[in-house]
Amino acid sequence: MKRYAFWLTTLAFCGSALLTPLHQLKAQSQETLQKVEGLAKQLKLSRLQEAQLVPILDAEAPKLKAIKSDPSLTDAQKLEQLKAVHDQTDPQVQAILTPQQYEKWQTIRQKEIQRAIEKKKAY
């Protein structure tokens, strides 16, 4: 009986996630929703994948922001800590995405890091 209840709950969640537009998902910040929206287009995410990524990126965002805005860290330390946060999140994201999507995801992250480095060099 417990197994049946589990599957009903899982089915209900998945079904509602498939029908829920991204803008109706709960996120801590508009920035997270915009990021997922951009990823959804680039990676061709399903609604279920979008719904699964929102809480992961929501949890990651304040950590990344804190690292980026910490004046006591050198650029190298910031880069190292950002990579550590990404490494923590990575297995969760990889479990959601297809291998092709995951490969694109890694490319997107690398480009974001490269842009941040170039932006710092410009100042």
Write the pLDDT tens digit of every residue in 43-92.
Answer: 999 999 999 999 999 899 899 889 988 999 998 898 899 999 999 999 99
If you search the block for the tokens 């997922």, which residue do you land on? 36
Q: What is the pLDDT of residue 10?
A: 47
71 three-class SS: coil
Q: What is the pLDDT of residue 28?
A: 59
Write the pLDDT tens digit of every residue in 66-77.
Answer: 998 899 999 889
pLDDT band at 35 (very low <50, low <70, confident <90, very high): confident
- Compute the distance between CA of residue 45 and CA of residue 40 in angstroms, rounded to an integer: 5
pTM, entire model: 0.70
Supply the angle between the helices 75-96 and 99-122 in degrees, to the nearest 10.
160
Q: Are 52 and 10 in contact (CB under 8 A)?
A: no
